[in-house]
């Protein structure tokens, strides 16, 4: 049986306690590996290794040399593409068609992008007058923040983990990564790549485990961790925020969402249908930016519902590696129980089930997997729990609206504020509505279109801080001003 150990100071390390947990494939619930669970000893060792690396060759390395190493890491991920693809799809069950075009390429691209961004980031310099007339010069300098705790989610494991690790390392920090217990494989595999590329021991460390009384709690509470970055659900973010308050450690958190899609009658209906299909059902709906609330202007409401239903019926469910498959399982049996509870709740709250609402019969050993039907509802009240709470599954509710003012109020009637999508061919309306929707990112006539130089993050209960571009560089560095009297 395969074992996944911790990666500490350049070595694969077993847990001193001997405790392990199972890593299962959500496609058929088969056992992939046993994963070592970190205790306090492993977390202490990982943080100590990261501290030592800051004071060693990594801390003395020039920006140019760091950038070359990170570019080498990106190239090596690409060279080992098939291994990363296989590991990612076994952990998540997602189709090869998605992981091979999104997860693995973006996981590699993050290293190149942030290495280049930092190399091209200008330094502030200000000349100032002084009473003696000679003046002074102020020079801005970015310094690494130190040891960064990276806690990454299971829905896009490699992509979202490297979206944090890449800028952290580019800025000269060291990291201790705690991947989701559901998806440990690619974080472990990246440790091998770091060694192969010559990244000094202790720069990149990985500890596996859970949250409370396990790796997550021990890492976020560790006094020698200088900053914490987390992507995941809002309740966990609140717990991490409390831990970060001890010692006043900096935090960056991208949390949950209950994102609206707004479809005006003047939209290009083909684009709106395809865009909503992706935003509601890509990755089995397990995307923080996904659309669970869809508002459609009344003149096209019935046509939109029927066309979206027809497109959902065309989704091909199956094994990740099979040709043409575009819909996989949820990440685990446990998560399926949660999503199915919302499917039942929707019915209890009075929803009309347009399509789906249950578990498909896969007809073979795949019935042991975490499969679920993509689902559309209509007819729920605006205060229904299914409308208010994040489900994180392949589902959406569609509601008609009559006026622009009404739909803006509906879109903003949520505790969350991560993302939104607007579909209209009226550019003035697009800008007007986008400016009034309270979300960290608003797409117009597209969805999940990302430039890594732009800000990424949410409002309200969807997070604190921003990542991407200079916003990542600001989080992963301490800004110092050097004032030189002339």
Cite the active site residues.
254, 288
**334 contact partners, CB below 8 Å, separation of at least 6:** none
Residue 220 CA to residue 147 CA, distance in Å, equals 11
Query: What letter would DSSP give residue 199?
Result: P
Element spanning 52, H or E? helix 40-54
3-state DSSP percent of the chain in helix, strand and coil, to 5: 40, 25, 35
Residue 233 CA to residue 479 CA, distance in Å, equals 30
**268 contact partners, CB below 8 Å, separation of at least 6:** 423, 425, 445
CB 433 within 8 A of CB 422: yes
Element spanning 342, H or E? helix 333-348
Which residue has tokens 């497109």?
311
Which of 280, 183, 278 lies closest to 231 in space, CA to CA? Answer: 183
**305 contact partners, CB below 8 Å, separation of at least 6:** 296, 354, 376, 378, 398
Which of 373, 418, 448 lies closest to 98 in space, CA to CA? Answer: 448
**39 contact partners, CB below 8 Å, separation of at least 6:** 15, 16, 17, 19, 214, 218
CB 394 within 8 A of CB 415: no
What size, in residues, is the chain?
486
CB 417 within 8 A of CB 459: yes
**47 contact partners, CB below 8 Å, separation of at least 6:** 147, 176, 205, 219, 222, 224, 225
Residue 147 CA to residue 219 CA, distance in Å, equals 11
Query: What letter would DSSP give residue 239?
Result: H
CB 53 within 8 A of CB 39: no
Give helix then strand counts, H and E, for the chain.
Answer: 17, 23
Which of 266, 257, 297 lies closest to 396 in space, CA to CA? Answer: 257
CB 337 within 8 A of CB 393: no
């Amino acid at each position: 049986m395969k074992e996944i150990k911790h990666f500490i100071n350049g070595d694969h390390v077993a847990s001193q306690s001997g405790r392990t947990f199972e890593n299962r494939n959500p496609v058929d619930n088969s056992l992939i590996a046993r994963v070592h669970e970190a205790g306090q000893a492993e977390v202490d060792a990982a943080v100590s290794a990261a501290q030592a690396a800051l004071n060693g060759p990594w801390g003395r390395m020039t920006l140019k040399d760091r950038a070359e190493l990170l570019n080498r890491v990106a190239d090596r991920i690409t060279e080992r593409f098939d291994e990363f693809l296989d590991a990612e799809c076994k952990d998540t069950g997602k189709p090869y068609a998605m992981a091979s075009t999104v997860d693995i390429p973006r996981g590699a691209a993050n290293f190149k992008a942030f290495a280049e961004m930092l190399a091209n980031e200008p330094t502030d310099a200000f000349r100032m007058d002084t009473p003696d007339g000679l003046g002074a010069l102020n020079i801005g300098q970015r310094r690494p923040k130190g040891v960064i705790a990276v806690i990454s989610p299971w829905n896009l494991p490699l992509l979202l983990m490297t979206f944090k690790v890449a800028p952290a390392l580019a800025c000269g920090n060291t990291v201790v990564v705690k991947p989701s217990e559901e998806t440990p494989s690619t974080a472990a595999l990246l440790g091998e790549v770091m060694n192969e590329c010559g990244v000094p021991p202790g720069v990149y460390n990985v500890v596996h485990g859970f949250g409370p009384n396990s790796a997550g709690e021990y890492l976020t509470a560790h006094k020698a961790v200088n900053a914490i970055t987390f992507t995941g659900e809002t309740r966990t973010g609140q717990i991490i925020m409390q831990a970060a308050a001890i010692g006043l450690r900096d935090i960056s958190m991208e949390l949950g969402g209950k994102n609206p899609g707004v479809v005006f009658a003047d939209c290009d209906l083909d684009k709106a249908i395809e865009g909503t299909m992706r935003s509601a059902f890509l990755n089995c709906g397990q995307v923080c930016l996904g659309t669970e609330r869809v508002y459609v202007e009344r003149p096209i409401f019935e046509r939109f519902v029927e066309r979206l239903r027809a497109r959902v019926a065309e989704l091909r469910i199956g094994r990740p590696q099979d040709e043409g498959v575009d819909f996989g399982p949820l990440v685990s049996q446990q998560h399926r129980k949660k999503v199915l509870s919302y499917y039942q709740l929707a019915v209890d709250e009075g929803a009309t089930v347009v399509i789906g609402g249950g578990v498909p019969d896969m007809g073979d050993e795949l019935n042991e997997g975490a499969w679920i039907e993509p689902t559309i509802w209509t007819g729920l009240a605006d205060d229904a729990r299914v409308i208010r709470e994040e489900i994180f599954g392949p589902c959406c509710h569609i509601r008609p609206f009559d006026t622009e003012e009404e739909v803006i109020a509906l879109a903003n009637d949520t505790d969350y504020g991560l993302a939104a999508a607007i579909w209209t061919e009226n550019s003035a309306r697009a800008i007007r509505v986008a400016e009034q929707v309270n979300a960290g990112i608003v797409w117009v006539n597209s969805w999940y279109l990302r430039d890594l130089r732009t800000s990424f993050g949410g409002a309200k209960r969807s997070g604190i801080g921003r990542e991407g571009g200079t916003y990542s560089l600001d989080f992963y560095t301490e800004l110092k001003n050097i004032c030189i009297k002339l």
